[in-house]
Amino acid sequence: MRLFVGLGNPGAKYSGNRHNIGFMAIDRIAGDHGFAPWRSKFQGSVSEGRLGTERVILLKPETFMNLSGQSVGEAMRFYKLDPADVTVFHDELDLAPGKCRVKSGGGHAGHNGLRSLHQHIGEAYQRVRLGIGHPGHKDRVAPYVLSDFAKAEQDWLDDLMRGISDGASALASGDAARFANAVALRTAPPRSSKTTDPPTASAKTPEQKVDSDTRSPLQRLVDRFR
């Protein structure tokens, strides 16, 4: 059994926030893979289903971000799970928007949700880091993560959610590489075969042409008047 946790803040006020991208990922998995209706449990919302051959519990803590560990710890104790059975989806300031990385263990890097998880379950859980970019200065971080994604960001956000859903079964089975590949196919698809090929050596652009004339400038001038 796997426990997939999405981090965010509860309530319609926060639903579109960058900080809630973890909730968005969990919601997408639940909707695309036919999970059971959400119900209240473990100080959060819970849905059960299967991803491939794995039974998976989806959890959205409703304790607010900085107390997320309380909800996750309660669910783990109920299902008798270890931290290694837990995968947490969260926003990541240190990744460019739309990037996705999987890692296990490590620090919380100041993320309030991860800090709470460290306090309640330790650090040996898996994280799916979902890039939202950085506002440029630490004083702008709080209003940035608590603001909604801009309209211009919806395309890459949807691609990322689709990729996460595509790769969810692989992630549940422990194949992080195949999961990452599924995300990449959505967020950075292969170039079409119709893409213009780069110039060949025989058809170089003017900037690429090599001057094969080895004469000095003085010799060229002399030759012009011969």
Mean pLDDT of 198-210: 46
pLDDT digits (tens, 9 = 90+) for 125-165: 999 999 999 999 989 999 999 999 999 999 999 999 999 99
- In degrees to the nearest 10, what's the CA dihedral of 30, 57, 102, 131? 50
For the chain, domains (ranges, CATH) are 2-187 (3.40.50.1470)
Distance CA 9, CA 22 (A): 10
pLDDT digits (tens, 9 = 90+) for 60-114: 999 999 999 999 999 999 999 999 999 999 999 999 999 999 999 888 888 999 9
Active site residues: 19
Q: What is the pTM of this model?
A: 0.83
Which tokens in the block code for residue 207?
């900037």
Task: Evaluate whether 2 touches 57 at the Cβ level (below 8 Å).
Answer: yes
Place 183 in a pLDDT band, splitting at 50, 70 and 90.
very high
Place of tokens 């971000």: 65
pLDDT of residue 194: 57
Percent of the chain with pLDDT over 90: 80
More confident residue, 110 or 212: 110
Instruction: Give the side-chain half-sphere CA count within 13 A for 12.
Output: 0
Distance CA 29, CA 87 (A): 13
Q: Give backbone dihedrals phi and psi of 169, rounded to 5 degrees, phi first.
A: -65, -40
Angle at 79 between CA 76 and CA 80, to 5 degrees: 75
Place 197 in a pLDDT band, splitting at 50, 70 and 90.
low
Closest CA to 10 of 45, 56, 36: 45
Task: Evaluate whether 153 touches 97 at the Cβ level (below 8 Å).
Answer: yes
